A = this chain, B = another copy of it.
Amino acid sequence: MNKKKIFNDPVYGFITIPYDIIFDLIEHPYFQRLRHISQLGLTHLVYPGALHTRFSHALGALHLMNMALDTLKAKGHKISEVECEAVSAAILMHDIGHGPYSHALESSIVKGVAHEDISLMFIDRLNKIYKGDLSLAIDIFKNNYKRPFLHQLVSSQLDLDRLDYLCRDSFFTGVAEGVVGYQRIISMLDIHKDNLVVEEKGIYSVEKFLISRRLMYWQVYYHKTSLSAQKMIVKILKRAKELANKDIEMFATPALKYFLYNNVSKGHFETDTEVLEKFAQLDDFDVFSSIKEWKSHDDIVLSRLSWNLSNRNLYKIKIQNEPFDKELVNDLQDKIVKQYNINKKDADYLVFTDVIKNDAYLSDKQRINILYKDKTIKDIAEASDNLNIKVLSNPVEKHYLCFPKEVNFKYL
């Protein structure tokens, strides 16, 4: 059977599937699940178009990967079909372990299990199904392969994952500010001593890429209202977990129920195959249809939060550079305790403060290397005569404070 298939993508147009194994991976239920995992969680509450999924992001990253491989081959680098296939599989699968609503579960009901771990478990299992055909993809994914540029195409400061999500997120949010010249950046990629580099004349595009990323952080990813919604869903899931731990009954889809009423650790994932299978059943539908029902739960904390989120009555959020005054937060919590008639120890579900951080470019971790005509290499932070790249390297930290709109905090 001819496995050629074309996907229509609003961002890039037609996406062709380069290899049969890639087609098979896409067809697999593990990957089809990503059709129901939104890329930007609840951001659509702010940008109504932002409903795109990890499924289309993965296809988009695959598309850019193939453009990048073509470019590198056209520049005279030998990359074998086997390597191309493997790195294509690696980028396709890179996010396969993501749970519903981004990182919502990681910090609530499936604590201590990062989505990267789960991605690897899924890929390992697929590798067994496909009898080892994904072994090289796994090596590349884990950066165990001798040619590091292949890993860097999948995961680095300038990988095709980021390139796609910036393009895709700015497209579907309608935030023109985030538009990145992906064709130009890809055309500037090169390989130097088996590492991914950018040609000298690509400096401006790399600068622009870093700046777009930073702006997308504040305009979209950390948009106040969207951040408020994200934090609310985490609080809801934490509360549900707390109630479940006390054996209090609540409606949930069976897949979600499993993770609410069982405490699964990374160890369980690794030893009990059922756990991963259960996780493979879990998507945005489970979480949101359960939250919708929790609007009428007896627990006032759970029901208030769920009602507010479902009806887009989102918490107010203040963002500032300094930490919020502890006493202020305490006062607010006291107020909410009285207003809702809840325990003080539960006040943290409704009034809370924390830190958000945005590293546009951290040169100490990973570098974006610029290749000069004389074959020397410089980090973009040095190469740019636009000193602000250096400034961008400093992570920006901000503090936020969330509280229900209906509470009247006059002194804020």
For this chain, the copies found in one complex come to 4
Binary contact readout A157-197 vs B (1 if CB under 8 angstroms, 0 otherwise): 00000000000000111111101111110010000000000
Q: Which residue of B lies closest to A29 (CB)?
A: B311
Closest to A284 in B: B285
Within the complex, the shortest CB–CB distance from A393 to chain B, in Å, comes to 11
Q: How far is the CA of A347 from the CA of B131 in the complex (A)?
A: 37
Nearest B-chain residue to A59, judged by Cβ: B48
Q: How many residues of A contact B (CB 8 A)?
A: 76
Of A6-14, A240-248, A366-374, the one contacting chain B is: A6-14
Min C-beta distance of A377 to chain B, whole Å: 19
**Taking the nearest CB of chain B, how far is it from the CB of A311, in angstroms?**
5
Which of A29, A204, A385 gathers the greatest number of chain B CB atoms within 10 Å? Answer: A204
- Measured CA separation A286–B213 after assembly (Å): 36
| A59, A208, A289, A293 interface centre (most CB from chain B within 10 Å) | A289
Return A359 CB to nearest CB of chain B, in Å.
14
**In the bound complex, do residue B255 and residue A292 qualify as a contact, i.e. CB atoms below 8 Å apart?**
yes
Q: Which residue of B lies closest to A7 (CB)?
A: B48
A218 at the interface (CB under 8 A from B): yes
A391 adjacent to chain B (CB < 8 Å): yes
A56 interface hit (Cβ, 8 Å):
yes
* Known contacts A56-B48, A388-B386, A172 near B10 by CB under 8 Å: yes
B174 touches A8 (CB 8 A): yes
Q: For chain A, residues 357 to 412, give those with C-beta under 8 angstroms from any C-beta of chain B.
A: 385-389, 391-392, 396
Within residues 271 to 319 of chain A, which ones have a CB less than 8 A from any CB in chain B? 281, 283-286, 288-289, 292-293, 310-312
Measured CB to CB, the residues of A under 8 A from B are 4, 6-11, 13-14, 16, 27, 29, 32, 35-36, 44-45, 47-49, 51-53, 55-56, 59, 74, 171-177, 179-184, 187, 204-205, 207-208, 211-212, 214-215, 218-219, 251, 253-255, 281, 283-286, 288-289, 292-293, 310-312, 321, 385-389, 391-392, 396
Pick 7 A–B contacts, CB within 8 A, sort by A. A8-B173, A8-B174, A177-B180, A281-B292, A285-B288, A289-B289, A388-B392
